[in-house]
């Protein structure tokens, strides 16, 4: 089971991203190396056909990967997205997006993750709408105490 301190820290990290609140995304699940983010539909998030914008799908793919990676970091480390690649497969036409990220390789410096993004359709069924691969880097947080001492 995931350490409660790590869990709290990831939740806090999510809340610190103003963009997540702006679009209305919620962190709905967090386990060791696994993260789920959900986002209810609103018109503000659409492209020309009234579906979720591809950039929104990419945003969730990136974040589901990043927070999955973060769940395998210490409290003195933080995730930084190096790159991600997204394939859009089916139109994101529905009531809610669900992004599920998973760590494939838990490296010391780099974590490789995959995200699958599902659209919850009007009929309630989930449909795969995108897949992504992402590389997340572990960066060391500078210890404020050490920093003060060294100055």
Q: Give the residues lining the site for a second copy (CB under 8 A).
A: 13, 16-19, 22, 43-48, 53-56, 58-60, 62-63, 78, 81-90, 104-105, 107, 109-110, 112, 114, 128, 131-133, 135, 137
CA-CA distances (angstroms) from residue 64 to 96, 133, 147, 148?
15, 11, 31, 34
Asked if 99 and 26 touch (Cβ cutoff 8 Å), the reply is no
Query: Is the CB of 28 or the CB of 87 nearer to a second copy?
Result: 87
- Distance, CA of 116 to CA of 45 (rounded, Å): 19
Structure tokens at 42: 């609103």
Query: Is the CB of 6 or the CB of 137 nearer to a second copy?
Result: 137
Query: Is the CB of 2 or the CB of 133 nearer to a second copy?
Result: 133
- Distance, CA of 63 to CA of 148 (rounded, Å): 32
We find the least distance from the C-beta atom of residue 67 to a second copy, in angstroms, to be: 11
We find the least distance from the C-beta atom of residue 29 to a second copy, in angstroms, to be: 19
Query: Is the CB of 33 or the CB of 107 nearer to a second copy?
Result: 107
- Distance, CA of 98 to CA of 50 (rounded, Å): 18
With H, G, I as helix, E, B as strand and everything else as coil, classify residue 95: coil
We find the least distance from the C-beta atom of residue 103 to a second copy, in angstroms, to be: 10
We find the least distance from the C-beta atom of residue 107 to a second copy, in angstroms, to be: 8
């Amino acid at each position: 089971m995931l350490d409660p301190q790590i869990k709290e820290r990831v939740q806090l990290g999510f809340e610190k991203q103003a963009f997540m609140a702006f679009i209305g995304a919620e962190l709905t699940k967090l386990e060791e190396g696994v993260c789920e983010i959900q986002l209810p539909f609103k018109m503000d998030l659409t492209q020309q056909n009234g579906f979720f914008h591809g950039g929104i799908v990419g945003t969730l793919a990136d974040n589901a990967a990043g927070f999955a990676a973060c769940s395998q970091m210490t409290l003195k480390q933080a995730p930084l997205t190096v790159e991600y690649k997204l394939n859009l497969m089916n139109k994101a036409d529905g009531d809610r997006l669900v992004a599920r990220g998973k760590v494939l390789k838990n490296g010391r410096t780099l974590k490789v993750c995959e995200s699958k993004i599902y659209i919850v359709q009007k009929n309630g069924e989930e449909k795969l709408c995108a897949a992504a691969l992402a590389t997340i880097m572990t960066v060391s947080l500078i210890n404020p105490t050490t920093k003060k001492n060294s100055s």
